[in-house]
Structure 1
Amino acid sequence: MKITAVETVPYAIPYTKPLKFASGEVHTAEHVLVRVYTDEGLVGVADAPPRPFTYGETQASIVGVIERIFAPQLVGEDVFAREWIHGLLHRTVGNPAAKSALDMALWDITGQSCGRSVTELLGGHTDRMRVSHMLGFDEPRRMADEAQRMWDTYGITVFKVKVGRRPVHLDLRVCRALRSALGDKAELYVDGNRGWTASEAAAALREFDELGMTLAEELCPADDVLGRRWLVGQSRIPFVADESATTPAEVTRSLLDGSATAISIKTARTGFTHSQRVLFQCEGMGAEVVMGNQIDARLGTVCTVAFGAAYAASSRRAGELSNFLDMSDDLLTDPLMITDGTLAVRDGPGLGVVIDEDKLARYRQDR
């Protein structure tokens, strides 16, 4: 089966409220829908969410690199020659979201062609994952109220709390309020988006430990090599590398040099193929993983749960799968349903999704 065309559609859908964190804030999902067409009539889809404040990509850069560089290389290639295709993509440095969307669209086609879901093709460990909800910067009472609403409405009991503000006590107040409001039955963990110094993070970690936090992610920059190693060495809480460990080589360095003890996997930046490699590297080195969120829309969330549910190691912890609830609308025809704190893998071959063409026409930015 040959690739005949690659399409990029930039679109923008506002969030119902801005999501704020230490490295920036987002008000609108300015993403790129990527579609790969084949000579047998099958079409694979995926979402590319640019994060310029983290990886340097923008909506325009994703469209540009796919249309001008990747698409001319891929047209005419065999859909199933993934390793060859990744070799072609690898010639261009960077552009993780663009490359990942292409990879996931090809997996979608592969699943459609054999009548199996992507989760089954990858590993088929389970058909659902527990859900973690991400809480952005706000006043303690509002963050606690949002967490309680997610618990009452969707049965979510795991929460990722954005921290990294100065002074540190602003976020410590939030964490105390959440623990007080939710009690011991809720799982709480924190993500600093590199907002603190190592010494600030060390002070916070002491209280996080007392509050029963289960993970601490990117509290300080990884390029503060000695400070990060010093911090992780004294932490009693597993320390997660996220944006600082996006490839198997970076994962290896982070774990061996003591700058992390666990790894976040995000399909939006490593697709399915390279997420496999990161996961297997973590398994081989005895490191835990958590399925992260790139502030995904429904399509990106479908991809995250499709991968996370495929393996025992990636489905062990709750995945960050609920932030599509903060969007005012979406491109998929069918809603995602979080029930009893879990999200199921989609039925149907491939990713099992259908794009609402009317909504795509309404939100696309290139016409």
Structure 2
Amino acid sequence: MKITRVEAIPFAIPYRKPLRFASGEVHSAEHVLVRVHTDDGLVGVAEAPPRPFTYGETQASIVAVLRDVFTPEVLGLSPWEREVVHARLGRTVGNPAAKAAVDMALWDIIGKAAGRSVTELLGGYTDHMRVAHMVGFASPEQMVDEAQRVRTEYGITTFKVKVGRRPATVDVAACRALREALGDDVELYVDGNRGWTASESARALRAMDDLGLTLAEELCPADDVLGRRWLVQRCPIPFVADESATRPGEVTRELLAGSATAISIKTARTGFSTSQRVLFQCEGLGVEVVIGNQVDGQIGTLCGAAFGAAHRLTAQRAGELSNFLDMSDDLLTEPVRITGGTVRVRDEPGLGIEIDPDKLAHYRQD
């Protein structure tokens, strides 16, 4: 079985409302559908969501690097030669979402060829993931309304609260309002997207010390090396490295330097193969992990759930798997459903993804 073609199809689906956080604002899911074809007729599917304000990738750059650089490197290889593919794509720096999509599409093919789900192939720990929902910037009242609606409609009881505004008292008030409205049986944690300084972060954490927060993610920039270490030493809860730890080497650097005490794994930027490398690093060092979300659509959500459910460590926490709820539509013939606060992985061979051709024709941008 050999790779014969790689498709990179740009598409755009509007959000029901803008997603706002400290590092940027998103109005439309301008993603890239990646399909890897083989001479056996098997096709692997994945999604590449660009985040230009985080990694520098755009929809156009992902299409271009897949078409002009990566496709020539992988044509003729077997999907089973994942390490060869990894080495060849690694010659080009950056481009994490493009690389991750190729890797996940190859796993989809392998699962189809083996007649097994990707979750089974990766580890098969469980068949579902608890879901955490991201609450973006808004007034405290609006944030409470959204969280209450999501809890009532989907049974979700874990919420990741976007913070990082100035003054920090705005976000402190929002977190306090969420705790008071939702009660103590709901898990809350915060993500600053590098929006505060180290001292602002420390003051905000002290002001929220009574709220029972469980994690604090990327409150200040990793480039503030001494300030970040100073903050993490004083942080009373696990401090999560996300966009500052996009490769195994960065994970090692952040953890051993004392700049983080937990790691966010996003399959949209490290695929399945490198995500396993990161996961096993964290397991060996005894640090917590969370399955993050790169504002993925339903394709990316299924990938995150498939990986998270496959491993004991990732299945212990709720994964950030609900961002697709903010999209006005998606490309799947069978939509992802959140029931009782969980997403079930699909038991079909591969990832169980089937693209609706009419929806793709409607939303594609090429």
What range describes the TM-score normalised by the shorter chain of this pair?
over 0.9
1:8 equivalent in structure 2: 8
Q: How many residues align?
A: 366
Q: Mapping of 1:143-158 within 5 angstroms?
A: 143-158=143-158
Give the corresponding residue for 1:101: 101
Q: Distance in 1 between matches of 2:20 and 2:7?
A: 31
Shift of 1:71: 0.5
Residue in 1 that maps onto 2:290? 290
The residue type equivalent to 1:225 in the other structure is V
Q: 1:299-310 counterparts in 2 under 5 A?
A: 299-310=299-310
Q: Which residue of 2 aligns with 1:132?
A: 132
Residue pairs, 1:1-367, within 5 angstroms: 1-366=1-366
Query: Residues 17-38 of structure 1: CA distance to partner in whole angstroms, max 9, x if unpaired?
Result: 0100000010000000000000
Secondary structure of 1:338 counterpart: coil
Q: Deviations over 1:84-134 (max 9, x none)?
A: 111110111110000000000000000000110000000000000110000
Specify the SS of the correspondent of 1:180.
helix
Deviation at 1:337, TM superposition (A): 1.3
Give how far 1:207 is off: 2.3
The aligned amino acid for 1:9 is I
**AA of the residue aligned to 2:236:** R
Q: Please report how far the alpha carbon of residue 246 of structure 1 lies from its aligned counterpart in structure 2 after TM superposition.
A: 1.2
Contiguous gaps of at least 5 residues in structure 1: none
Deviation at 1:148, TM superposition (A): 0.4
Equivalent pair of 2:176/2:208 in contact (CA under 8 Å): no
Partner Cα distance (1:7, 1:90) in 2 = 20
Provide the secondary structure at the position in 2 that maps to 1:339: coil
Amino acid at match of 1:61: S
Letter in 1 for 2:58: T
Q: Which amino acid aligns with 1:311?
A: H
Q: Which runs of 4+ in 1 moved over 3 A?
A: none
Q: Please give the TM-score of this superposition, normalised by the length of structure 2.
A: 0.99
Contact 1:209–1:237 at 8 Å: present in 2 too? no
TM-fit CA distance, 1:347 = 2.4
Structure 2 residues without counterparts, runs of 5 or longer? none
Is contact 2:263-2:288 (8 Å) kept? yes
Partners of 2:5 and 2:272 in 1: how far apart?
21
CA-to-partner distance for each residue in 1:57-95, whole Å, 9 max, x for gaps? 000000000000111111111110000111110111110
Give, in angstroms, the shift of residue 210 of structure 1.
Answer: 1.3
Does the Cα contact within 8 Å between 1:148 and 1:182 map onto a contact in 2?
yes
